[in-house]
């Protein structure tokens, strides 16, 4: 029987056994990074032990992305890494994910790589920041650890390389590590409750029912994220939060600031902001920044949908949220009614009700219940 991340007795026993030395290192104020790399490789090999091909594909992918990183660093050091080269390297970094999505859509098996979607975001972030001059050197061990860090390799949360490496390379005082360890246990057990109790109860109730699927998605994914963050904390990595009370959102912008936060902020920083700057430089749509932002929001969320997959429901989900965010932007920036009433309790209550229904409709699209 195959072993899966955060599912089954074998995985949790292995994670517990491997975590014990990490806790000892943290409590005795020693650096955990070296052991963390070793433990991540052990977990990945254990999960993929029945598929040597998957191990080889993962190793080949990591070597390929590292080669692209080294190539761009070399070209930049020689003054030969212009915008065109940077874009080409980004396209090459995205190529394995694109081919994987196409293979999945065409039902061509044998090309799945563990954690490919999330590792691609990590690699592209590093490549973009090399091109921007923010990153001038990449330590191979740090890069490997950043990508293979087993608590988050499969489904995030999506960390940033410089933040991750700062945690990995540091040694915490005992008191700080013990506080982080306490937070880790709380997060992990809350995640267990969310994923294995609440999400399972909702699954039994039937996720094909309106509204139930959206709530199920929250408890399942938020539960996973909390377990990943908690386990990451044990290794001294302060993995960023992925959810912040999304059911309190009063508009669609607010929702995406609370839901899958590391995905939405990654897209904001590396897709939306860059598209908007390009639109502003080109003075598209008459130079109106609000209309430019609306267009970029739709493109940004289309990328989000395609990242999930090339099926019609995922593409429609991205377009749906892109349109909603564009309408929100237009309404909030252009409407006097919004500016007059946005702080009123009654207005917020109505806005919350509309937002929640729009969110739940989106989940129905995502699940393929509508498309």
Question: Could you write out the DSSP letters of every residue in 82-142?
Answer: -HHHHHHHHHHHHHHHHHHHHHHHTT--S---TTHHHHHHHHHHHHHHHHTTS-----HHH
State phi, psi for 7 to the nearest 5 degrees: -155, 110
Other residues' Cβ atoms within 10 Å of the Cβ of residue 79: 7
Active site residue 341: no
CA–CA gap between residue 118 and residue 96 (Å, rounded): 12
CA–CA gap between residue 30 and residue 22 (Å, rounded): 9
| Residue 267: its H or E element | helix 261-267
Q: In terms of residues, how long is the chain?
A: 371
Distance in Å from the first CA to the final CA of the chain: 34
Q: Which residue of the set 308, 321, 341, 369 is catalytic?
A: 308
216: nearest Cα among 228, 200, 231, 232: 200
| Residue 340: its H or E element | helix 336-341
Looking up tokens 């909603």, which residue turns up? 324
Which amino acids are annotated catalytic? Answer: 308
């Amino acid at each position: 029987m195959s072993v899966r991340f955060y599912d089954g007795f074998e995985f949790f026993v292995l994670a517990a056994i491997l975590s014990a030395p990490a806790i000892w290192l943290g409590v005795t104020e020693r650096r955990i990074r070296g052991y963390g790399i070793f433990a991540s490789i052990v977990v990945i090999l254990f999960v993929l032990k029945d598929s040597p091909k998957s191990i080889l594909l993962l190793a080949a992918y990591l070597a390929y992305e590292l080669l692209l990183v080294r190539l761009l660093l070399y070209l930049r050091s020689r003054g030969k890494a212009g915008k065109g080269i940077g874009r080409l390297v980004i396209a090459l970094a995205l190529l394995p994910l694109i081919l994987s999505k196409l293979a999945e859509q065409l039902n061509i098996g044998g090309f799945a790589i563990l954690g490919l979607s999330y590792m691609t975001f990590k690699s592209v972030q590093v490549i973009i920041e090399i091109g921007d001059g923010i990153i001038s050197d990449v330590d191979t061990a740090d890069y490997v650890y950043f990508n293979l860090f087993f608590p988050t390799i499969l489904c995030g949360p999506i960390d940033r390389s410089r933040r991750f490496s700062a945690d990995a390379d540091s040694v915490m005082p005992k008191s700080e590590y013990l506080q982080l360890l306490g937070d880790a246990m709380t997060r992990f057990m809350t995640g267990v409750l969310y994923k294995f109790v609440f999400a399972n109860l909702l699954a039994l109730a039937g996720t094909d029912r309106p509204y139930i699927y959206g709530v199920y998605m929250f408890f399942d994914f938020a539960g996973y994220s909390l377990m990943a963050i908690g386990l990451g904390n044990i290794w001294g990595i302060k993995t960023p939060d992925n959810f912040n009370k999304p059911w309190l959102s009063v508009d669609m912008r607010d929702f995406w600031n609370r839901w899958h936060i590391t995905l939405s902020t990654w897209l904001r920083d590396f897709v939306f902001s860059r598209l908007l700057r390009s639109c502003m430089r080109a003075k598209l749509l008459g130079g109106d920044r609000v209309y430019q932002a609306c267009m970029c929001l739709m493109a940004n969320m289309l990328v989000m949908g395609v990242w999930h997959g090339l099926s019609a429901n995922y593409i429609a989900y991205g377009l749906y949220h892109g349109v909603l965010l564009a309408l929100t932007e237009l309404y909030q920036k252009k409407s006097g009614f919004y500016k007059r009433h946005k702080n009123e309790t009654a207005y917020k209550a109505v806005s919350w009700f509309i937002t929640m229904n729009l969110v739940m409709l989106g989940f129905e699209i995502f699940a393929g219940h509508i498309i």
